[in-house]
Copies of this chain bind each other. A is one copy, B any other.
Amino acid sequence: MRIGLAQINSVVGAFEANFEKILFYLDKARREKLDIIAFPELALCGYPPEDLLLRKSFIKANLTYLNKIRKCLKTETLVLIGYVSQKKDKIFNSVGILSKQKILDTYSKVYLPNYGVFDEKRYFTASEEIKAYLYKKFKIALSICEDIWEERFIQRLKGDFSPQILINLSASPFFAGKFELRKKWLSSLAKKFNLTILYCNLIGGQDELVFDGSSLVINPKGKVIIMGKRFEEDLIIFDTQKKYRPLWRKMDRIEEIYKALILGIRDYLRKNGFRKAVIGLSGGIDSAVSLYLAKEALGKNNLLALIMPSRYTSSQTFNDAISFSKNLEVKYHIIPIEAIYASYLERLKPYFKGTGFLDRTNQNIQARIRGNILMAFSNFFGYLVLNTGNKSEVSTGYCTLYGDMVGGFGILKDVYKTEVYKLAKFINKKAKDNIIPLSIIKRPPSAELKPNQRDQDDLPPYGLLDKILKLYIEEDKPKEEIIKLGFKKSIVEKIIKMVEKNEYKRRQSPIGIKITPKAFGKDRRIPITNKFLS
C-alpha cells in the first residue's frame, strides 16, 4: 500500500485557491498510484480560522468545497481532508474520508488545545469517538494534531483497535526546537505502541504563525524513515512494501529560525496582496538582518531601504547603512530628517521651554518622523512597511510607539537581540562573505537619538537581559525563582517592571513571527491594567 502525505500551504478563507491546490496534489496522487493521500488539519479552510468559525457562511463554504472535492474523485484512492464538520449547532475539527465521489466517514478531533496560541474550545465541540479502519489488510487509525500528544488517546486506540498505522493530520505551529520535540515524542509513541506513524503537517505563514511542514514517517522501532521538506510544500510517499533506512537531518537552531522568518515574511506579503516592502535602515544590526531576510523572502527588486539620518547619526552608522544596501543591491534613498525635526522643535518650543526639552520627548519625535516617512512611502507606493524591532526591545519597551514600532509585520519581534547577532553571523557565514559589514556587528548597539547614546545605558547587557526575559516570559518563572538562579534582585525587578509596564506598547505593535515557545501576541495574554509584578 502506498500512502502519501501532502504538506500543503493553505490560505485561511481562500476556499477556491485551497481547493485548486488540493486538486493539484490529487492529480499527483493519481500519477503516483497512491492508495491513500492525507492533507493537513483544516487544509480546506486554512488554519487557524479563528472567529471566522463563528460565521455560518464560512462553515457553509467549507462544506460546499468539500463536496466539490468529493465530486472530483473518480478513483478508489482514499482522500483524507481536514475540514470543519457540523452536527446541528455544533462544529467539529474533522477529517473527511473521501473516495469515488463519496464521503465514506468523518473522524473528529477528540483533544482540543486551548492554551498558548490555541483557542479551539472557543469553537469546536470535542468528539468522544476514536476510530480505526481496515483498509487493504491494514488496520489504520486517524488522529488530528493534539490527539497524538495525549498518551491516553493512543492507549485507548491501541486497547480498542490495535492499529498498525496511525495517520495524524496536523497544523503544528513552529518554534525553534519543536521539530526535535515532535520527533522525540512521535518516536517514543511509535516504539511503545508498535505503530507506524504518518505525521502530515501544514506548511506556510499565517499571521504570527509559521507552520514548518517537516512531515514524518516513523517506523515501529521509533526510527524516522521519511521526512518532508522543511518550510516548503512537499508530497512524501510511504510504501508498505518498501524497505527504508533510518534517516535524520538535523537543522541548526539558527538555520531553523532563519528559514521560518523568511517563510513568514514571504507568506504574509503574498497572502495579503503585497509584492513590495520598505524598511527603515539605520545602520544597526536589527535593520540589517531584517533587510537581508526580506531580500531572501521577496527578492532585491521588491525592496526599498530608507536611510534617515539625524543630527545624532554617526558617520560610521550612516556609511554602514549605505554599504550594506549596496552589498545587497537593494535600492535605497537617503532622507535626512533634520529639517523636519527642526520644524517640530521650533513649533513645540513654547510649550516645553524652560524644562529642558530633551531626552525621551525629542528622541521619540525623531523616531516618529521616521515612522511617518516610512508610512508615506507605504501609502504612496503600496509598499508594506516591515518592522525590525527585536524581542528584547519589545519586551522592555525600549522602542518608540508609532516610531520605530511602525509597520505591518514584525520580522524580529520574537527574536532576542542575542539571537539577532547569531543570525547576522549565520548570514555572513552562509554568504561566505561579510555581506553584513563587521562594523555593524561589532558596534555597541545604540538608538542614536541623543549624543553618545548606548542601549547599555538604559538596559542591562543583552546577554543578561535575554536570559532573564526567557525565564520570565517563556518559562513563566516567578521573580523569586529567577533570583534564586543567581540573578541580581534589583536587575530582575527592573526587568519585570519594564516588561509589564510596556504591555500597552505591545498591544499596538505590529504582529510578528513566532519562533519561541511563547511569543507576544495570542500566545501571552497579560492585562495592561495589572498591578502584579512577581
Contact = CB atoms under 8 A, between A and B. Distances in A.
Contacts of A530: 12-13, 52
Contacts of A272: 504, 528-529
A471 B524 CA distance: 31
B402 A58 contact: no
Given A51-B526, A340-B340, A532-B52, A368 B361 contact: no
Contact of A406 (B337, B402, B529): B402
Interface string A449-482: 0000000000000000000000000001011100
A488 B260 CA distance: 44
A347 B351 contact: no
A277 B528 CA distance: 17
Interface in A297-356: 333, 335-337, 339-340, 342-344, 346-348, 351-352, 355
Contacts of A527: 12-13, 48-50, 52, 206-207
Contact of A13 (B14, B54, B511, B532): B532
B402 A379 contact: no
Nearest to A373: B348
A4 interface: no
Contact of A344 (B51, B114, B372): B372
A58 B509 contact: no
A376 B402 contact: no
B347 A339 contact: yes
Nearest to A272: B529
Given A379-B361, A531-B11, A526 B50 contact: yes
Contacts of A380: 351-352, 355, 357, 360-361
Interface residues of A, number: 86
Contacts of A534: 55, 57-58, 61
A272 B373 CA distance: 32
A507 interface: yes
Contacts of A408: 504
A509 B507 CA distance: 8
A362 B534 CA distance: 46
Nearest to A371: B402
Contacts of A268: 529
Contacts of A193: none
A479 B56 CA distance: 10
B12 A529 contact: yes
A483 to B, nearest CB: 12
Interface stretch (A19-27, A115-123, A251-259, A440-448): A115-123
A335 B360 contact: no
A52 to B, nearest CB: 6
A371 to B, nearest CB: 6
A364 interface: yes
A510 interface: yes
A58 B344 contact: no
A247 interface: no
A51 B14 contact: no
Given A58-B534, A478-B56, A372 B375 contact: no
Interface string A48-84: 1111101111101100000000000000000000000
Interface string A493-534: 000000000001001111100000000000011111111111
A161 interface: no
Contacts of A205: 529
Given A122-B115, A479-B57, A510 B508 contact: yes
Contacts of A56: 476, 478
B57 A480 contact: yes
Contact of A532 (B12, B342, B365): B12
A421 interface: no
A17 interface: yes
A364 B369 contact: no
Contacts of A14: 531-532
Contacts of A13: 527, 530-533
22 contacts: A11-B531, A12-B529, A13-B531, A14-B531, A51-B526, A56-B476, A58-B534, A61-B532, A114-B114, A114-B122, A272-B529, A337-B347, A340-B344, A340-B347, A347-B373, A361-B379, A361-B380, A368-B372, A368-B375, A371-B402, A402-B402, A507-B511
Interface of A: 11-15, 17, 48-52, 54-58, 60-61, 114-115, 119, 121-122, 205-207, 267-268, 271-272, 333, 335-337, 339-340, 342-344, 346-348, 351-352, 355, 357, 360-362, 364-365, 368-369, 371-373, 375-377, 379-380, 401-402, 406, 408, 476, 478-480, 504, 507-511, 524-534
Pairs A-B, 7 closest by C-beta atoms: A13-B532, A57-B478, A14-B531, A343-B343, A13-B531, A402-B402, A361-B379
